[in-house]
Amino acid sequence: MSSQNDSGFATFQASGAISAYKAVALQSDGTITPAAGNAALGIGILQEDAADAGYARVKLWTAPGTFMIMATNTAITPATTYAIVTGGFAGVVNGTFAPASLIGLQSGVASNGIIVEFLSAL
């Protein structure tokens, strides 16, 4: 049976506990883990905390609108480009190793775990 997702949100089972607002990657067994970053952008942003083996919603990169994403120890400036980095966080662009995939829409202080609004540049 095949299906189609028109909403831009999907539910997945977590492999390990994952905090909300991190980029997640889909594994071969159908579970999600934090995106590796550094060119591995994952499938979208987790919308709620997920317990190990628990189910949670993901806002897919193809969904319309903006994304609330957890940043890692990086000051966020509007209209500046950022990347998905190790652990599924938003962070500093590092050439082709961590390509620009996000545009900051709000200011945020350099605080590990701050959640800021971004626009997908994918």
pLDDT tens for each residue of 26-84 = 999 999 999 998 888 999 999 999 999 999 999 999 999 999 999 998 899 999 999 99
The answer to the question of residue 4 being in a domain is no
Say whether both 83 and 49 belong to one domain: no
Cβ neighbours of 106 (radius 10 Å): 14
Spell out the alpha helix ranges (H) of the chain. Answer: none
Of 21, 42, 60, which residue sits at a domain end?
A: 60
**Among residues 82, 64, 106, 109, which one has the least CA distance to residue 23?**
82
Whether pTM > 0.95 for this model: the answer is: no
Does position 1 have pLDDT exceeding 70, yes or no? no
Say whether both 56 and 91 belong to one domain: no
Residue 104's domain comprises 67-120
Q: Label residue 53 exposed, middle or buried (CB < 10 Å: 0-12, 13-18, 19+).
A: exposed
Say whether both 17 and 40 belong to one domain: yes
Do residues 102 and 117 touch, judged by C-beta distance below 8 A? no
What is the distance between the alpha carbons of residues 114 and 60, in angstroms, rounded to a whole number? 21
